[in-house]
Amino acid sequence: MEILSRLPVRSILRFKCVSKPWGTLISGPYFKMTHLNHAKNDQNSKKLLISQRCPETNIYSIYCLLLSSPVQPVENVQKLDFPLISRPFRCAIQGSCDGLVIICVNENIDVGRNIRLLWNPSIGESVVLPHPELPMNEGSHLGFVYDSTFGDYKILKIHTGIDSPVEILALKSGSWRIIDKHPRGIHNVISNTESLPFVNEAFHWIGFSREKYFVVSFSISNETYGEIPLPDQMLCLRRNIYIGVSVLEGMFCVHSSPYDQRNAYFKLWVLKDYGVKESWNALFILEDPCLVGTIPIYRFEDGEVLFWGLNVDFAAYSFRTSTGPFALWPRCDTVHTGIAFTGSLISPKSQI
Per-position DSSP letters for 163-185, written without gaps between them: S--EEEEETTTTEEEEEPPPTT-
Check if the beta carbon of residue 149 is closer than 8 Å to that of residue 186: no
Which amino acid, residue 79? K
Buried b / exposed e along 166-200 (16+ C-beta atoms within 10 A):
bbbbbbeeeebeeeeebeeebebbbbebbbbbbbe
Q: Is the pTM of this model over 0.85?
A: yes
Q: Is the dihedral of CA 275, 160, 129, 175 positive or negative?
A: positive
Question: 16, 92, 10, 1: which is closest to 45 by C-alpha?
Answer: 10
Full set of structural domains in the chain with CATH: 1-41 (no CATH), 42-350 (2.120.10.80)
Going by C-beta distance under 8 Å and a sequence separation of 6 or more, which residues neighbour residue 106? Answer: 85, 88, 89, 90, 91, 113, 114, 115
pLDDT in tens, the chain (352 residues): 999 999 999 999 999 999 999 999 999 999 999 999 999 999 889 999 998 888 777 788 899 988 877 666 666 788 898 887 777 778 889 999 999 999 988 876 655 578 899 999 999 999 999 988 887 777 788 999 999 999 999 999 998 877 778 899 999 999 999 988 887 778 787 766 668 999 999 999 988 887 788 899 999 999 999 999 888 777 655 556 778 899 998 889 998 876 665 667 788 899 999 888 889 998 888 877 666 678 888 988 888 888 887 665 555 667 888 777 777 776 656 667 889 999 999 999 999 8
